[in-house]
Amino acid sequence: MPYYFASDEPRVAPFNADDLKPEHAKSLGEYLDQVAKTLIEKHPADSFEGRAARTLREAVGVQIDALNDCFEDEEPETLEARKRAWNRLVWFVWPWEGTSGYDARQWRLVPHTDADDAVEGARRLLALREAAAQKRRAELEAL
């Protein structure tokens, strides 16, 4: 299903930033490079579309380089940078969801750096929901 029918944003991954490996960056980069190459081949270099395709290729290259810099270790700061770099690329590739070669299982937004971060996120969410439920109960009791 094309992205614009599925949701207003990319799907969330069932994995964390520490699960991402250089191979994931490579496959996403190769896919986007092929998209840009296809556009470059179809449009003259000085056309609006040709320029946009070259811009896409350059922007993706910069983002892939930034992501690849985040595989040197598993320190919290590095994992946070990996998460941010990966998610930027997911936004780049998302418009092609539903097309041939698009990896809908893998190219998703990563909300957490690791399992500990995911647990803390779940705790925060539960606390917010509990606070909202308590507030609602208090409002109902006041009626």
Residue 65 lies in a domain: yes
- pLDDT tens, residue by residue, 43-53: 999 999 999 99
Residue 24 lies in a domain: yes
Residue 139 lies in a domain: no
Domain count, the chain: 1
Distance CA 14, CA 111 (A): 9
Neighbour count for residue 52 (Cβ, 10 Å)? 14
Cβ 43 vs Cβ 109: under 8 Å: no
Residue 26 lies in a domain: yes
Averaged pLDDT, groups of 10, the chain, 143 residues long: 62 96 96 93 94 93 96 96 97 93 96 89 87 90 87
Residue 40 lies in a domain: yes
Residue 138 lies in a domain: no
pTM of the model: 0.81
Please state the φ and ψ torsions of residue 109, each to the nearest 5 degrees: -70, 135
Q: Tokens 């779940």: give the residue.
A: 122
The first and second tokens of residue 35, run together, are 């998209």
